[in-house]
Chains A and B, each alone.
Chain A
Amino acid sequence: MESDLDVTYATIMQEIVATGVAPHYAELAPRLGISPNEALNRIESILAITPGWMHPGTDYIASFPPFNNQPTAYRITVRGEQRWFAQCGFEALACSWMFPGEIVDINAPCLLGDDSLHLKMKDGELVLVDPETIVGYTRSRLGMEEPDQPFR
């Protein structure tokens, strides 16, 4: 049985998967048959229990993982269309779960100015990695309990 928050989460996620863009709360409200204030309250409740966030000082969804509404260095391409951005390099690796059965291309620049990085994934499996030496690294703590840490 889905809760109101489940339905709201799924509606936002489906919109991002379809268009690459998260809906504004005032756009979300009529789709759910609720008031704009209620839509905003639900978005805030969802972001309190998932590693997403609003752009500071606004009512705009900035990040709704694995995607980012604000462009990042991690471009996601599906069926030849680059509509999506991943929240970060790690969440880029989770994007293929949102496109079952599809090849998902991840393209990112090298942060040191060398040649760019390219990965292809399908249903969580690595199809291509270029170069083969790609690594992940974070200077942020992951999986911690602090409310301001990602992946809480």
Chain B
Amino acid sequence: MNLFRSEQHAQQWKDWDQEMASTLRPVEWWIETFRNPIFRNRNRPDYLTWLTGESGISATAAFHDRLQQ
């Protein structure tokens, strides 16, 4: 899970795997992905209770759905 200067840099990386090319996205897309509440809520005093509850499970599912886009 790395950041690269450009698409060309990523594709020239020694560990580039064409099968995972769908994960190559502009950094803005990844920033939006990491706005999901499972990341935003880590400061909550009840974070783990929230994460394993209905809202957290729903947010985790939304995160997984976005990764499948």
Contacts and interface: CB of A to CB of B under 8 A. Distances in A.
Contacts of A7: 45
A contact patch SS: loop
A60 to B, nearest CB: 21
Nearest to B65: A143
A150 to B, nearest CB: 7
B13 A138 contact: no
A58 interface: no
A137 B16 CA distance: 9
A121 B35 CA distance: 12
Interface in B1-39: 1-7, 9-10, 12-13, 15-17, 20, 23-31, 33-35, 39
A6 B23 contact: no
B3 A134 contact: yes
B1 A89 contact: yes
Contacts of B49: 1-3, 5-6
Interface in A80-135: 88-94, 97-98, 100, 108, 110-112, 114-115, 117, 119, 121, 124, 126, 129, 131, 133-135
Contact of B43 (A89, A97, A133): A97
B1 A140 contact: yes
Interface residues of B, number: 42
Given A5-B48, A114-B9, A139 B4 contact: no
B48 A46 contact: yes
A34 B63 CA distance: 35
Given A97-B42, A97-B43, A138 B2 contact: yes
B52 interface: yes
Interface of B: 1-7, 9-10, 12-13, 15-17, 20, 23-31, 33-35, 39-40, 42-43, 45-49, 51-52, 63-64, 67-68
